[in-house]
Chains A and B, each alone.
Chain A
Amino acid sequence: MKSLVNHFEDGIILTNVDYALGLGRAHSLWYMLFGLACCGIEMMQTGGPRTDLDRFGAVPRATPRQSDLMIVAGTVTLKMAERVKLLYGQMAEPRYVISMGSCSNSGGLFQCGYSVLNGVDKVIPVDVYLPGCPPRPEALASAIIDVQKKVVREPHLRKNV
C-alpha cells in the first residue's frame, strides 16, 4: 500500500469527524462557577493570570445551562447536596464533573460531620477526582487537561449505549 506520508499538500490533516469534534469540545470546556469553600479560592486563582485557564479554552460561566464542566470546589453540605444534584441536572449533556479537593472527594477534614456529605460522588457521577487540601492551581489545570483527554477520546456522534 502506498504511504500517505508526504502524499498531500501542506495544510491538509487526515482525521475522523468524532476526533475533530472532540478536539473542539475539549478546548472549549466552559466550567460552572461552583466555589463552595476554600477550594473556590484556588479555583479563582487558577482562572487568574498565572495559571490562566483561558488558554485551555476553559472560561467560567455563572449558569449551569451554558456549562460543560462542573468543578465542585469545596465542602458539600447535605443542604447543598440537593442543590448540586439539581444544578447537575440542569447542565446539558455531555457534561463532566471534577471533584476538587479532599472534602469534595470524601468529606475530607469534615467527614463524619453531621451536616457534611461524605463525597460528592454520592449524588452525582464524577469524572476526575483531584486530591489536595486545597489542590494548587497547577493541579486543577492538570485535572482539566485530564478531562480534555477524556473528552477527545469519547465518540460524540455514536454514543456507546
Chain B
Amino acid sequence: MSPIYARMSEVVLNIDVVLNIVKDELGLDLVQDESAIEGSSLVVPSESLLSVMEVLRQHEKLKFRVLMSQTGVHRGEDMLLFYHLHSYEFSHTICVLCVVPAEGGEVDSVSCIWSGADWLERETFDLLGVHFKGHPNLRRIMMPEDWEGHPLRKDYKMPTEYAGIDNTPCSLEKLDD
C-alpha cells in the first residue's frame, strides 16, 4: 500500500526534526511556538519566511505540498500571521507563525511557492491590511474596492454609511455604552 493511503490519521510531527532540517539547510536557529495549544508550530522571522517555506515544501523528509490556510490576528502592536501546511504524503501538519508589526507590516508573499496562497493572502490583506511583497495581484477580495480600512483590525471604526446608504444599526447606542 502506498504511504498516502496507509495512514489516514494525522501523524504527529516532531518539531525538533523540522528545526534541525532548517538549521542544516539554511543555518537558521528557529524556535518552537510555545503558545501553541496543540500540534507542531514554528516561529519564523519575516525576513527569512520565503527561504524557510521553500525548504518546508521541497525537503524530502517534509514535503509540505499544501498550504491549507493562511490567516492572521491583530494583537496589540503585532500582526500574527499563521500558515498551516500539510503533507499528503506523510500526513503531517505544521503551523508556521510569522510576526510583523501591525502598522505598515510587510512580508514576502508565498504565492510563488504555493499558487493557492494568492487568494488567501488577498483575504489577509483585505481584512488586516498586511502588505505581501511580490504578490501578483494584491487587491481586495471580499470587501468593495472603494472600502476604507481593514475590518478585522482592532482599531477599526465601524462605518455608519457606505456609498450613500445610511447603515446605522438600531442598537448602535447600546454598543457605545
Contact = CB atoms under 8 A, between A and B. Distances in A.
A112 B175 contact: yes
Contact of A122 (B143, B156, B158, B167): B167
Nearest to A80: B144
B166 interface: yes
Given A112-B158, A112-B175, A117 B169 contact: no
Given A78-B144, A79-B144, A111 B171 contact: yes
Contact of B167 (A78, A79, A82): A78
A117 B165 contact: yes
A117 B170 CA distance: 12
B105 interface: no
Given A78-B165, A79-B143, A114 B171 contact: no
B171 A112 contact: yes
Tell me the dominant secondary structure on chain B's binding face. loop
B167 A117 contact: yes
Interface in A99-128: 106-107, 111-112, 114-115, 117-118, 122-123
A82 B163 contact: yes
A31 to B, nearest CB: 24
Interface residues of B, number: 18
B176 to A, nearest CB: 11
B167 A118 contact: yes
A79 B151 CA distance: 14
Contacts of A107: 169
Nearest to B175: A112
Given A78-B163, A82-B163, A118 B170 contact: yes
A81 B158 CA distance: 17
Contacts of A115: 142-143, 151
A54 B148 CA distance: 44
B168 interface: yes
Contacts of A81: 162-163, 165
Nearest to A116: B167
Contact of B151 (A82, A114, A118, A123): A114
Nearest to B158: A114
A113 to B, nearest CB: 9
Interface in A114-154: 114-115, 117-118, 122-123
Nearest to B143: A115
Given A78-B144, A79-B143, A111 B169 contact: yes
Nearest to B150: A114
Contact of B165 (A111, A112, A123): A123
A111 B165 CA distance: 15
9 contacts: A78-B165, A78-B167, A106-B170, A111-B170, A112-B172, A112-B175, A114-B151, A115-B143, A123-B165
Interface of B: 142-144, 151, 156, 158-159, 162-163, 165-172, 175
